[in-house]
Structure 1
Amino acid sequence: MDATVVAVCHSAEHTFSKPVQDGITLLAGLGVEGDAHLGVTVKHRSRVAQDPTQPNLRQVHLIHEELFAEVADAGFAVAPGQLGENITTAGIDLLALPTGTLLHLGDDAVVEVTGLRNPCLQIDRFQGGLLKQVVSRAADGTLIRKAGIMGVVRAGGQVRPGDRIRAVLPEGEHRPLEPV
């Protein structure tokens, strides 16, 4: 299966879920045009409270559509945008990508993968018990985060449902994703 964009979303407000759009515009170095998290410095409220000058490594949030099927098996109904992502993907194992992977989206846009989304209690406010589905522990006790990945925009462009996704892995030793 080719990797594709399933849905795109943005919200000008700091809301948990984001409405699905016909298309979004990625702006180099900033993020998603019209989104509350657009900017060079961090925009997530909890991180702004800690240090508003830190770089925004969370300009774009991507989630794999396959997660929705996984949580559906546990009785949860989740649709694109409802977990706050900007881009819903299919056919690419986002969580297995190394830090620094370049995701080419559509004709022009490029997002550099910076790390994992660190899910919070807002997920349980959306649907009680859902947090345990997107955060679990491996047999060795390692925390497994499945609520998507974060990135920064390296090249701007339009992104629409149906666009192809091409991943370019970084050269050298691959660094596994860590929460950002």
Structure 2
Amino acid sequence: MPQLVAVCAVRQLRPDAGSVGVTAIDKIAVDGPVRIGAYGAYGDVQADRKHHGGLDKALYAYAEEDADYWAAQLGRELAPGWFGENLRVRGFDVNAARIGDRWRIGDRAEVEVTMPRTPCQTFARWVGGDDERGWVKRFSSARRLGPYLRVVTAGRIQAGDEIVVTPAPDGAPGLLDAYRDPE
């Protein structure tokens, strides 16, 4: 059964060498129900709104199974939020999603898959800077990207909620088909 493992929001803005000067990638699991609305999870922010956030990138989901893969690769635990995700999920392959798939989370909230994550240099710096040279290419090549989601129906969600997937119409592109490697 697909399930929500954690809802994550920013712990604190951190200094970053990128053009914005700070990053909101440092997210942690939130206890209890969290309201999600058109612009994402209550209590979360995006420091770089040009590339993150907005209606079509309101939430970012990452699979527990993919996090486990990277934990083995990197030799460290990767708690919910480590990938900058708002939703840590398990029990289904989020990378096999199609653009337009809808996920009902809990009793009321509904989100829609809009596009894959494109890893960036902020993410590479977060992972470990010089210790993880080539991270963007490595992450892209593994094809474990996770989707961005828009919120169709607002509601409260929490860890343990069931996720029910309604497939996109036939012919909708797959998440990985829509991905273009960063240059």
Letter matched to residue 140 of structure 2? V
In structure 2, the gaps of 5 or more residues are 14-22
What's the counterpart of residue 152 of structure 2?
154
User: 1:71–1:133: 8 Å Cα contact kept in structure 2?
Assistant: no
What's the counterpart of residue 134 of structure 1?
139
What's the counterpart of residue 122 of structure 2?
122
TM-score by length of 2: 0.78
Rounded to whole Å, the distance in 1 between the matches of 2:101 and 2:89 is 15
User: 1:5–1:87: 8 Å Cα contact kept in structure 2?
Assistant: yes
Rounded to whole Å, the distance in 1 between the matches of 2:125 and 2:51 is 20
Rounded to whole Å, the distance in 2 between the matches of 1:121 and 1:173 is 33
Letter matched to residue 65 of structure 2? E
Per mean C-alpha deviation after superposition, the further-off stretch among 124-133 and 84-93 is 124-133
User: 1:117–1:145: 8 Å Cα contact kept in structure 2?
Assistant: no
Rounded to whole Å, the distance in 2 between the matches of 1:125 and 1:76 is 17
Rounded to whole Å, the distance in 1 between the matches of 2:140 and 2:179 is 12
Residue deviations 1:42-66 (CA, integer Å, cap 9, x gap): x734438xxxxx9631001000011
TM-score by length of 1: 0.79
* Aligned residues between the structures: 161
What are the residue-to-residue correspondences of 1:1-180 with 2, within 5 Å? 2-11=1-10, 13=13, 14-22=23-31, 23-27=33-37, 29-37=38-46, 44-47=48-51, 56-77=55-76, 78-128=78-128, 129=132, 130-136=135-141, 145-177=143-175, 178-179=178-179
Letter matched to residue 86 of structure 2? N
User: 1:119–1:145: 8 Å Cα contact kept in structure 2?
Assistant: no
* Superposition CA RMSD, Å: 2.4
For residue 102 of structure 1, report the CA deviation from its aligned partner.
Answer: 0.4
